[in-house]
Amino acid sequence: MVLIFAGTNAASGVCKAVVFATGMTTEFGKIADLTQNMVEVPSPLQIEMGRITRLVSAMAISMGVIFFVLAVLLAHVNVTESFIFAMGMIVAFIPEGLLPTVTLSLAMGVKRMAKRNALIKRLSAVETLGCTTVICTDKTGTLTQNEMTVSDCWMVNQQMKVTGVGYAPEGEMLSGDVPISLAENSDMRTLLVAASFCNNSRLLPPSPEINHWNILGDPTEAALVVAARKGKIDLDQELKFSPRLRELPFESQRKRMTTIHKVAGDRSGLEKLAYIKGAPKEVLDLCSHYLNDGEEVAMDGEIRKKIMAANDDYARKGLRVLAVAMRRLTKDMGLPERLSDYTPELIENNMTFLGLTVMADPPRVEVAAAVKKCHQAGIKIIMITGDYGLTAESIARRIGIIHGAQPRIVTGVELDEINDADLKKALSEEIIFARVAPEQKLRVVSALQEMGNVVAVTGDGVNDSPALKKADIGIAMGISGTDVAKEAADMILTDDNFASIVNAVEEGRGVYNNIRKFATYILNSNVPEAVPFIVFLFAKGQIPLPLTVMQILAVDLGTDMIPAIALGVELPEEGVMQRPPRSRKEHLLNRPLLIRAFLFYGIMEGAIAMSAFFFLYWQNGWPGVPMADSGEIYRMATTMTLGAIVVTQIGIVFNCRTERASVFKVGLFSNHMILIGIVCELTVFSILVYTPFLHAIFNTAPIGLIEWAYLFMWVPIVILIDELRKAFLRYWDRRRLQKKTEVMKGES
């Protein structure tokens, strides 16, 4: 029976067909249904932003209520003014710029990733990449170059080397070091003709558009066509005399394909030839004979062992091996008259084994370094491939995915038989999945997620889409991937290269760190905005209010915004890929960040703001003269409070660029956006100070050079104080690492 699947294209010809399934009942529809019915889990960042919203809202409202009560009871302020104070506190504690700066930081991350061959479809996926703990990756084309070259042809009675690389049909056939001609070696010629007939790829010569040999079709099949061309076989002429009559397509369950051809010179049409190629073990199980000097000799156990030993030997070298066989189909076999009735069960038996074709698909040059970077970053890599286990192990060992002497290799058959508990136990060790069907990836991904991992998975086929959808980060191949896979994925690799995934993870970690940086920057200014209210309340009206509600809004919605955005475009810090992934349970606003923002930066900035307020009154006779709560002097004093917050934030924005490293190491002026942000910040402040009609709105007044000098005096002081803190933390980190090393040496 011939089936036509929804979603496929007819290259040519016409036919009549009976429709027995439509819509979601087709194979295509079943996959789509499986994908659509998955519950989409919020990303770690989405969960965290929800938590931050609840936390900050509760904190702001609580502070507003507390200050309202204190203003009425302690400072004896009337209810209306107390309500305004309460609103001021709520405004002070809500970081209005947090959400837009998070969005912009993610968008900038997307832009940088696109330059590094990773297209992000879902914005929150940028940050999720940063906490990835496991990457499940294909082998062919992702870890390897996917430019197959036949290096050897092996038959029971002989072996042949094939020279040349790439798709150019330039090379020689060598027996030892001696060139041979296929015209004089009928067995080897039969092997290459069979491999090229059982094939759907074409070799394309150089053209004005593409100035090198290229292929149309699967690279593995194309390599066989190239090998035949190197052997001076005219495939067009051969197919003219032996045209294809029928194809039994490759299926991942069968791991082989078969084509049926007319026999050259047979005018009766009663004799046909079936050629088969596929996984060596699966093809060998169908063979009862083997070709030896033109004769079909009965297969015995020793020959089978010899063939599989050769296969395993090549596979251990990381080479890809396909077996090729044939069968003569004659009238006396009782085969159906109609070719459409030919099935694998009828044709694929009593085959004659021809030989093995051996292909090299070297790892991509940059992959080994990318794998090493992943391991340093605490990310586990699991290879899931349809290839032979020993081939997969060899490639995995060469690029550093595995290091142990005996890694666990689980085949698709074993995966179906293993229970979930044993699978999770196996996933904790070094493991490779080989001869695995694409749909089996879904089970592996689900098991890893149940173990608490953040999983990224690669895929290119329609059957990969459920796993891509299920994964925390689904990664589709931009070159070889199907539209269905790309639709299900969160990220598309434009170069199909594993190294691009690692680059994206690095960018993801950088984006998360940037979010922490500008969260620290935005939150710390809440304290100096609140301190003036606290001073006013506890002074019971003896000290006028040092900061107005409108001035708070000027900071939160004006002067702070652009420097905060500039922190969102910081490049990833050095060493970001030498730390383990952050846990899903780790909060964005964790204890160290809150201590740094509120208790260190916040209190320091609050003290500086109040010192600026008192400095202005001191210049005008205080404490000998009472503090005026209105007029020019009062407006100048509140302007100094506002100016101290604005100018001190210049020092804070430099401090927030790194968590532990010295800001001088990354370059004080290396982020040009910060410099632009500082200019904008000072421009906005100057407009508020020197524009007359804004004075009444924002309660500001012009200040002189002495006041400006006093404000800018604090910028280097703030930076140097934080440099001392960072130096202490670096020293403490070194001490802890040293002690840990000593303990490990003592235990060994």
* CATH code of the domain covering residue 741: 1.20.1110.10
Question: What DSSP state is assigned to residue 558?
Answer: I
Which residue from 159, 153, 174 is spatially nearest to 360, judged by alpha carbons? 153
* Cα distance between residue 256 and residue 245, in whole Å: 18
pLDDT value at residue 687: 95
Contacts of residue 646, defined as CB under 8 A and 6 or more positions apart, other chains included, come to 555, 559, 681, 682, 685
What is the distance between the alpha carbons of residues 130 and 358, in angstroms, rounded to a whole number?
39
Percent helix, strand, coil in the chain (nearest 5)?
Answer: 55, 15, 30
Q: What residues does 296 pair with on adjacent strands?
A: 291
In a domain, 383, yes or no: yes
Q: Are residues 445 and 518 in the same domain?
A: no
pLDDT of residue 34: 62
On whether both 587 and 633 belong to a single domain, the answer is yes
Please report the DSSP string for 204-262 in residue order: E---SS--S-EEES-HHHHHHHHHHHHTT--HHHHHHHS-EEEEEEEETTTTEEEEEEE
Structure confidence at residue 463 (pLDDT) = 76
Closest CA to 139 of 393, 392, 473: 392
Going by C-alpha positions, the residue among 635, 642, 620, 631 that lies closest to residue 686 is 642
Identify the domain boundary among 360, 377, 396. Answer: 360
Q: Residue 64 belongs to what H/E stretch? A: helix 44-73
H runs (alpha helix) in 525-623 = 526-538, 549-554, 561-567, 591-594, 603-619
DSSP 144: B
State if pTM tops 0.75: yes
pLDDT less than 70: residues of the chain: 1-2, 10-13, 31-41, 92, 97, 266-270, 624, 744-748
Q: Is residue 640 part of a domain?
A: yes
Can you give the pLDDT at residue 356? Answer: 97
Q: CA 608 to CA 209: how far, in whole Å? A: 67
Residue 83 lies in a domain: no
Paired tokens of 55: 């936390």
Neighbours of 184 (CB within 10 A): 8
Residue among 572, 601, 641, 522 at smallest CA distance from 112:
572
In a shared domain, residues 422 and 323 = no
How many domains does the chain fold into?
3
686 within some domain = yes
Task: Name residues whose C-beta falls within 8 Å of residue 104's C-beta, 6 or more positions apart in sequence.
Answer: 565, 568
Active site residue 722: no
The pair of structure tokens assigned to 282 is 């699966």
Cα torsion 474, 478, 479, 482 to 10°: value is: 60
The 3 state secondary structure assigned to 153-197 is EEECCEEEEECCCCCCCCCCEEECCEECCHHHCHHHHHHHHHHHH
CATH number at residue 415: 3.40.50.1000
In a domain, 88, yes or no: no
Q: Rounded to whole angstroms, what are the CA distances from 61 to 387, 489, 696? A: 60, 41, 28
d(CA 215, CA 203): 5
Mark whether 344 and 427 lie in a shared domain. Answer: no
Domain boundary among 339, 360, 381: 360
Cα 448 vs. chain centroid, distance in angstroms? 16
In sign, the C-alpha dihedral spanning 698, 701, 702, 705 is negative
CATH number of the domain that residue 235 is part of? 3.40.1110.10
Same domain, 424 and 305: no
pLDDT at 586: 81
In this structure, the answer to whether residues 335 and 471 fall within a common structural domain is no
Q: Are residues 720 and 603 in the same domain?
A: yes
What is the model's pLDDT at position 647? 96
pLDDT of the residue at 436: 86
Judge whether 723 lies within some domain.
Answer: yes
* 717 and 687 share one domain: yes
Name which of 584, 647, 577 is nearest 612 in CA terms. Answer: 647
Of 137, 575, 570, 109, nearest in space to 378 by CA:
575
- Look at residue 121 and tell me if it is in a domain: no
pLDDT tens digits for 567-576? 888 888 877 8
Q: Which single residue is written with the structure tokens 């070889």?
A: 480
The H-assigned helical ranges of 656-704 are 663-666, 672-690, 692-698
Query: Is the domain of 429 the same as that of 473?
Result: yes
Residue 703 has what pLDDT? 95
Question: How many residues belong to the chain?
Answer: 748
Final residue of a domain: which of 338, 360, 382?
360
Q: Are residues 568 and 661 in the same domain?
A: yes
pLDDT tens for each residue of 459-507 = 887 778 888 888 999 999 888 888 888 888 999 999 888 899 999 999 8
Structure tokens at 559: 């002067």
Phi, psi of 143 (to 5 degrees): -90, -25
| Same domain (yes/no): 355, 207 | yes
> What's the confidence (pLDDT) of residue 40?
67
Same domain for 482 and 574: no
Q: Is 471 helix (H, G, I), strand (E, B) or coil?
A: coil
Q: What is the model's pLDDT at position 437?
A: 81
- Domain hosting 596: range is 509-747
In-domain check, residue 60: no
Helix count and strand count (H, E) for the chain: 29, 21
